[in-house]
Every structure is written in C-alpha cells, then in structure tokens.
C-alpha cells in the first residue's frame, strides 16, 4: 500500500501519510501492526515462473480455451440479463471499491445512499414496508425468513412447508439452517408446475409455522393462486413467504397484495449477469417484523446541521447487540453486488424494468410455440403462463437429446427422463432459431 507513490485507489495513502500514522501510533513499520505467523506470511516470492506479457496472455488464453463454448439456455434460479457497461464503470469507481468492509458505521455516505436506494426499490416492488441491504443469496434469504417465522410466529407449530420442486441447493441450505432449531421442513406436492393448493390446505395446520411459495416457480410457471395460498397460511397462523426476483416483481402482482409477510429471492438477475453462482439475497417483510430482520438496514436522517444523511439504522447481529437477542449470525452482506443491482435498475428506470419483464413473457411464449411445432416435442409441458423458462417434453430420452444439443453448442437442463427445461432471455434470444433447428435435428 504505502509502497506506491500517490497511494492505491483502494487505500489512497501516500508514503508520508503512512509514516505520519505509524509515528502517531508509535510503531516503525506496517509489519509491526500485525502478528502474522511466519508459516503463513508472504515472503516476497510467489513461486511462479516469470513470463513476458505475450507469454502470459498466451498461457491465460490456452486456459480459457479449455472452457466449453456453449450458448446457454439455462435458468432454474440463475438468470442472465444484459448488464450495460455503465454498471461496470460506475461500480468500479474507487469511491465504491475498498478493502474495508462495506457494512460498518464508517461506510461512506455515497455507498449508504446507494444501499438506501436499493432497499427503496425492493420496498416499491414488493409493497412491503421493510427491505434489508442484501444477504448472501436467495437460499440464505429463504432460510433466514424461516428463522424469522420461528421468532415471530403466533402459533406453536414447527413445520416449514415448501414446494416439492424447490431447488436442491435451496432445500439443503434451508435444512442446514434449521438443524438444531425447533423447526423441520415438509414438502407440498405441485401440480402442473405450481403448488397444489388442495394439498397445501390439507398439510397446513396448527403445526405449521411457515409457508413458502414461488412466483414464477422453478419451472417458470406463473403461480396463479397466491392469494389462496396466503389465506391458507394466515388461517394456520403461519407466515407466508414468497420467492421472486426484481425483474419478475416489476410485472407480476405485488406480494403485499396477496398477503405475503416476507419476500425473498435472488436479486442478482440485475447488475451481475450470469455470475455462475454469485448471488444477492433479496429480503423484504412487513414493518411489524422490523426488529426481527436479519442483516442490516440503511436509513435516511439528518445531521446536526439539518443536512440529509444516511446511516446504518439497524443491525441485529450479535456483534452489535446482546448475543441472545441477535437475529442472525450472518457475517457480511453483498453490499457491492447490491450497488450494481441498484445501478442497473436505475439505468433501466421503472418503464425499462417493465419492458424487460414483458420480454420475459413474450420470448418464452414464442420459443415454446416454435418448439411445439416440431414432431416429437411438446412445449410448454405445463399449461400455464411462463416467465423466462418452461419445460419441454420430448419423445426420445431427454439425456440423449441434451447430449446432441450440447454437441451442436447449446446447454439446457435435463429435468426428467423425457423432459428438458429451457430458459430464454435478452442475452440468448439471438440464438433461439438455431436452438429450434438443433431440436429439429435431434428429434
């Protein structure tokens, strides 16, 4: 850090400033500030062979060339939308990138304002009064919502009801979170890609603490019985939690209007692109659960001079309050990812978000119609409205069809012996005709 004249963009201290600080605290060097065992201390050698720039570029190119070059029609919780370059340019400004944690009281006013805008966007999209400034991903947000139900429930129930088609990763995270808690997970059957409401009504009783549904569902189907599901949860005295994402929420019915108490999901559909696993946990809830919200809330206030100011308003982690009153042990949040999502959403604007969401209805409808016209293909399998993705039935073993599609350069999900799931967005729509041609060849 201090070795750079003029400082680093991430720790902009000059050598003179560093020397002055070291003198103030009474040490001779930065090394004296740390107690790092010699066995793990950097000794000045990386153990890498030196390469010229040209050799290094060729080596990295060879490594990257080993990756499959497939056009992806994947989805099932991870969605790729085009991220405008301004998101990179703004989010990578030195004011927003720091080696210091982004959730401590010392975080800058500019960063706090962005997180406040991110929360405000979620409040507007969900219709709920409270949104925190992000969690790890959709799976941890769902698990934290179940724990909130355990703290805030008005019944003595211990059952957490989730759809039987809940993604495996979400299910496993939820079970891990609830391990050791007085809660257990039960699955509810689905029918035609959505929750079986009759089965839910039969399953929900005095032992139910939490009911979870998704819109759109993991198969891309629009859940049309949300109000009924909310009523069932309410009658059982359970919390109703709805899973979604900010693009879908800009078009679909607001969760607050169908009785949702909590909304979770992955907000990384905006700002990150297809990040191969990086998530951004969306979490919003009713105001009555304010003191039970995990993570951190950013609020707007005024300083002593009456100037608008932003501040970390509520932090319910054991680091900040009494351990027995802590709501979550989550250690950090996705502040910088939330910043990117907020920038992307702001660049689209309200109408741009709605336009993007409308495309996510029109594109799968058109692709399904083209695939359905092929002999040996039925699309979509579920007789529902769809968002981004849908399930396709084929007359051949789905595994063989997927392998042939991959040979032709396309990646899709096999979801059954004769079923394949296809996801189309603005980043792969240009290859839709080629995918249809590949299906024709495979069938």
pLDDT band at 357 (very low <50, low <70, confident <90, very high): very high
In 3D, which of 158, 159, 179, 122 has the Cα closest to residue 295? 122
Distances (CA, A) of 207 to 202, 210, 233, 242, 329: 12, 9, 11, 20, 26
Helix (H/G/I), strand (E/B), else coil: 378: strand
Give the model confidence (pLDDT) of 125-157 as tens digits. 999 999 998 888 999 999 999 999 888 865 678
Specify the pLDDT at position 3: 44
pLDDT band at 120 (very low <50, low <70, confident <90, very high): very high
Task: Inform me whether the pLDDT recorded for 250 exceeds 70.
Answer: yes
Specify the pLDDT at position 321: 64
pTM score: 0.85
More confident call, 352 vs 275: 352
Tell me the C-alpha distance between 381 and 304, whole Å.
61
Q: Which helix (H) or strand (E) holds 244?
A: strand 239-244
Specify the pLDDT at position 323: 64
Query: Which residues neighbour 229 within 8 Å (Cβ) at sequence distance 6 or greater?
Result: 195, 197, 200, 211, 213, 223, 240, 258
Specify the pLDDT at position 150: 86
Structural domains of the chain ordered from first start: 71-82+347-442 (3.90.1150.10), 102-344 (3.40.640.10)
Specify the pLDDT at position 292: 85
Give the model confidence (pLDDT) of 36-71 as tens digits. 888 888 888 888 888 999 999 999 999 999 988 899
Task: Inform me whether the pLDDT recorded for 22 exceeds 50.
Answer: yes
Q: What percent of the chain has pLDDT over 90?
A: 71
Give the model confidence (pLDDT) of 75-89 as tens digits. 998 899 999 999 999
Q: Are 225 and 253 in contact (CB under 8 A)?
A: no
Token couple for 42 = 């950097």
pLDDT band at 329 (very low <50, low <70, confident <90, very high): low
> What's the mean pLDDT in 399-420?
96
Range with the poorest average pLDDT among 127-136, 238-247, 312-321, 389-398: 312-321
Range with the poorest average pLDDT among 88-92, 212-216, 319-323, 337-341: 319-323
pLDDT band at 201 (very low <50, low <70, confident <90, very high): very high
Tell me the C-alpha distance between 54 and 331, whole Å.
41
Query: Which residues neighbour 51 within 8 Å (Cβ) at sequence distance 6 or greater?
Result: 59
Give the model confidence (pLDDT) of 146-200 as tens digits. 999 888 865 678 999 999 999 999 999 999 999 888 899 999 999 999 999 999 9
Mean pLDDT of the chain: 90
Q: What percent of the chain has pLDDT over 70?
A: 91
Specify the pLDDT at position 424: 98
Q: Are 147 and 326 in contact (CB under 8 A)?
A: no
More confident call, 252 vs 98: 252
Residue-level length of the chain: 443
18 φ, ψ (degrees, to nearest 5): -65, -45
């Amino acid at each position: 850090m201090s070795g750079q004249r003029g400082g680093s963009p991430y720790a902009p201290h000059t050598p003179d400033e560093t020397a002055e600080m070291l003198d103030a605290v009474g040490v001779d060097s930065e090394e004296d500030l740390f107690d790092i065992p010699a066995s793990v201390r950097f000794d000045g050698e990386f153990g890498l062979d030196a390469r010229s720039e040209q050799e290094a570029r060729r080596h990295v190119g060879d490594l990257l060339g080993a990756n499959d070059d497939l056009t992806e029609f994947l989805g099932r919780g991870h969605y790729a939308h085009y991220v405008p370059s301004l998101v990179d340019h703004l989010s990578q400004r030195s004011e927003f990138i720091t080696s210091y944690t982004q959730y401590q009281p010392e975080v800058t006013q500019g960063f706090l304002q962005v997180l406040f805008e991110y929360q405000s966007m979620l409040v507007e999209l969900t219709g709920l009064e409270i949104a925190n400034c992000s969690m790890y991903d959709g799976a941890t947000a769902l698990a934290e919502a179940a724990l909130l139900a355990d703290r805030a429930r008005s019944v003595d129930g211990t059952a957490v009801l989730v759809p039987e088609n809940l993604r495996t990763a979400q299910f496993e995270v939820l079970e891990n979170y609830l391990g050791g808690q007085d809660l257990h997970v039960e699955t509810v059957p689905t029918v035609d890609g959505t929750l079986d409401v009759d089965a839910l009504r039969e399953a929900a009783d005095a032992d139910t603490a939490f009911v979870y549904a998704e819109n759109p569902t993991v198969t891309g189907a629009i859940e049309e019985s949300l109000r009924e599901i909310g009523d069932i949860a309410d009658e059982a005295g359970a919390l109703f939690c709805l899973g979604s994402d900010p693009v879908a929420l800009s078009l679909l019915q607001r969760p607050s209007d169908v009785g949702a108490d909590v909304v979770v999901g992955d907000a990384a559909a905006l700002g990150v692109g297809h990040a191969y696993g990086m998530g951004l946990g969306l979490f919003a809830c009713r105001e009555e659960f304010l003191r039970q919200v995990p993570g951190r809330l950013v609020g707007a206030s005024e300083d002593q001079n009456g100037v608008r100011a932003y501040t970390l308003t509520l932090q319910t982690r054991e680091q900040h309050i009494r351990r027995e009153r802590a709501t979550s042990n989550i250690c950090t949040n996705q502040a910088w990812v939330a910043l990117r999502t907020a920038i992307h959403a702001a660049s689209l604007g309200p109408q741009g978000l709605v336009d993007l969401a409308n495309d996510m209805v029109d594109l799968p409808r058109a692709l399904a119609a083209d695939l359905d016209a092929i002999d040996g293909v039925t699309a979509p399998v579920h007789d529902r409205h769809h968002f981004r993705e849908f399930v396709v039935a084929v007359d051949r073993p789905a595994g063989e069809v997927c392998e042939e599609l991959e040979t032709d350069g396309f990646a899709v999900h096999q979801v059954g012996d004769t079923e394949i799931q296809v996801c189309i967005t603005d980043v792969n729509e240009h290859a839709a005709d080629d995918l249809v041609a590949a299906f024709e060849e495979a069938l």
